[in-house]
A = this chain, B = another copy of it.
């Protein structure tokens, strides 16, 4: 199921899901034509399909051309794949000889700025049959979103980025098809969770205006396109559904995450956080939803920290510091010799340094040193020491401060505070591998009863899977996108003020983090009041 360390959400409360997938397969035994029943081939097929589906079926011209020979070669026993076009309206996606209803495949895709993950889904029951992941092929043209948006400003650049992404996806599709012994043509539906820019680049839409005020995408609701239009190596008539976006920086990946969390169905107040290259925050319940987003990532994604690296084999991902001896224990991804430190390792290290009294509540080294060595030069695979510097801590405090400030802005705008949050959802790969206690210790996550804190894993991919399987879910997703009140943080003075004030570990008001406060008191790092 897992691939490259990305796993599908394992949520405690599985969303109720009535199977109503983007495509259906219908087996038909048609009467052979005769002088007494001389209906046209396509009309005969459509009438039988309408009888089973209860609504009209559109047959695309290219398939119309093939219908007569398929029907005759199959002895009038065929399986039709039909795709959702609009409520009550279907179009023919494929026609195969015999009964092939037991082979019905869809693809749920999470297109991240850095990583692309594809899940092969059994459309009969919604099960994930396999997953494949790879770096987004656009990375070589530019690591961050802004570079790519600039590049996409010319038709050639846009085409280059679209092709790179489609090539990545086609590689994943080929791998999945090979390992599951199916023809790529047998994949008859695709659903995508991606941020707004990625959706634009996927569809070949110019994202230029996403990064300049007033931040206007071409579309937040691309609806359905056919795979053939995009060059996707599945059935060319397969419907491709992109989860709708809310705004330029709040995309279908987040809407998919909200869907996967189910927070939009619950009366209690929930907080949803996806921290990656950008940080996206959703606050709300079944009655209202607030959202905002901002750049967050480099400090956490290894792009900035002195010893930083991506979460790849050799990355230090867990750190423990003995509060007495200050001896460091660490693990690396894949158990490989240490090369650098990834986001979860950094968060762990900060939390442990804080609990060991090495850094103070402002994130400063108490003894005036300029770095903390996690792995010595001798031990490291590169021969260079792996350390967390004062500058790394400073950068991280900015990221954390931005997340805190954004969250408080959302809370205040509805007259609530951190203590009103009842459920917390962490989405994304970072959220999946982060040590929960460490994240709370440094105030990146709120200090809630742990059973109310849920890791969603690849919530964008899970949202895409749900959209692939259910029309009701797609409508829910569209309602979520429509109903989220988006708070623009760019040029927001209140946010800037809060950001500047959010510079303490775990929070300016320690009482909002009772379990952290207890630990600090226990270790004599703060005094009990």
Contacts and interface: CB of A to CB of B under 8 A. Distances in A.
Interface of A: 33-35, 38-43, 46, 56, 58-59, 61, 64-65, 67-68, 85-86, 89, 203-206, 209, 213-225, 229, 245, 247-248, 486, 488, 491
B40 A86 contact: no
A215 B38 contact: yes
Given A56-B86, A223-B58, A218 B35 contact: no
B218 A41 contact: yes
A462 to B, nearest CB: 25
12 contacts: A35-B488, A38-B247, A40-B216, A40-B245, A43-B220, A58-B86, A61-B222, A61-B229, A65-B204, A65-B205, A85-B86, A89-B89
Contacts of A221: 40, 42-43, 46
A204 B204 CA distance: 30
Given A34-B214, A214-B35, A488-B38, A219 B43 contact: yes
A520 B61 CA distance: 57
A61, A205, A206, A245: most-surrounded residue (chain B CB, <10 A):
A61
Nearest to A208: B68
Contact of A213 (B35, B61, B204): B35
Given A204-B61, A488-B35, A40 B213 contact: no
A133 to B, nearest CB: 27
A68 B209 contact: yes
Given A43-B221, A222-B64, A214 B247 contact: no
Given A61-B229, A64-B222, A89-B86, A41 B217 contact: yes
A225 B61 contact: yes
A222 B61 CA distance: 8
A230 to B, nearest CB: 8
A70 to B, nearest CB: 12
A216 B86 contact: no
Nearest to A215: B38
A238 to B, nearest CB: 14
Given A40-B219, A41-B217, A67-B219, 18 more contacts: A33-B216, A35-B214, A35-B491, A38-B216, A38-B247, A39-B220, A40-B218, A40-B221, A41-B209, A41-B218, A42-B221, A58-B223, A61-B229, A64-B222, A65-B206, A67-B218, A85-B86, A86-B86
